[in-house]
Amino acid sequence: MFYHIKELQYNAKPERPDPVYAKKLQEILGGQFGEISVMMQYLFQGWNCRADQKYRDMILDIGTEEIAHVEMLATMIAQLLDNAPIEEQEQAAKDPVIGAVMGGMNPQHAIVGGLGAKPDDSVGYPWTARYTIASGNLLADFRANLNAESQGRLQAVRLYEITDDPGVRDMLSFLIARDTMHQNQWLAAIHELEEREGPVVPSTFNTEYEKQEVSYSFMDFSKGNESKKGRWASGPSFDGKGEFEYISDPEAMGQIPILKPAPLYVHGTIPSDMPPPPSAH
């Protein structure tokens, strides 16, 4: 169960409205790696957690914090939209600055949302639950989380670069710092799990059942071999169980596929060496 307090976790006060920037800032609210994504991802990972309670508790703590980040961004965007100019076109066309603002805004901010934030990304695409990753395997999921915090911090930094509003930058400096913590946090949790399970997910599959002769081979499917210069092409594998090998000309190991003709009731194309069908009925 949850409780709300009215104060924001951190300040979200722009110095001045900026509806074009409001559109861009939507990316870290409702984009693939926005705050709604991490909020939903952590909450669902926590609620579905079948492992130790310390993981469940930790995941839900951070999931609860992310709701507060969604709140901060929504609040910021609403203020960036204060008094956005949406008046007559003709006049706008005369003033290129207003024209640029009106062309660059997300029209739904005015028409649909009445100058409020939307759970969408910076091109207006709605947040979708397909962004949420929760597999029941924590090592897999913590890698998803580390990625989310990496992409998220990268986007926040890019948004920091393209504004000079001190209020917006102040809020972003907080979110960026939290992303620093959260990257560190998932690195720590991954470290703990890898110590116990090893680095290959899932650790519980009997590797005798996998085709082990290709478990450590880098296959070079192109002309040229620049790809040979990396750590992935030679030396011991990172799970400590094999040695990387570089295969310059990988050969096909499988059959040439020939599919059977479809049964008549499917009405596909009939191979030319078969008689045309009698009427189907």
Residues from 194 through 253 that contact its own copies (CB under 8 A): 196-197, 199-232, 235, 237-239, 242, 244, 250, 252-253
Closest separation between CB of residue 7 and its own copies, Å?
A: 3
Distance CA 33, CA 38 (A): 7
109 is in an annotated binding site: no
- Least distance (Å) from its own copies to the CB of residue 154? 5
- Does 37 help bind its own copies (rule: CB under 8 A)? no
List the structure tokens of 78.
Answer: 């609403």
Residue 69 assigned as binding residue = yes
Would you give the binding string for its own copies spanning residues 149-188, x where CB under 8 A is met?
-xx-xxx-xxxxxxxx----x---xx-xxx-xx-xxx-xx
Contacts of 214 (CB under 8 A, 6+ apart): none
What angle do helix axes 35-47 and 53-80 make, rounded to 10 degrees?
160
CA distance 159 to 164: 10
Query: Considering the rule CB under 8 A, would residue 15 count as an interface residue with its own copies?
Result: no
* Interacting residues with its own copies between 104 and 143 (CB under 8 A): 104, 106-108, 110-140, 143
**Min CB(242)–its own copies separation in Å:** 8
Whether a cis peptide bond, with omega within 30° of 0, leads into 202 is yes
Q: Is 167 exposed, middle or buried (0-12, 13-18, 19+ CB in 10 A)?
A: middle
Among 14, 35, 38, 40, contact with its own copies (rule: CB under 8 A): 40
The annotation status of 249 as a binding-site residue, yes or no, is no
Name the minimum Å distance from CB 118 to its own copies: 7
Q: Which of 14, 35, 38, 56 is in the footprint of its own copies by CB under 8 A?
A: 56
CB-based contacts of 126, cutoff 8 Å, min separation 6 = 30, 118, 119, 120
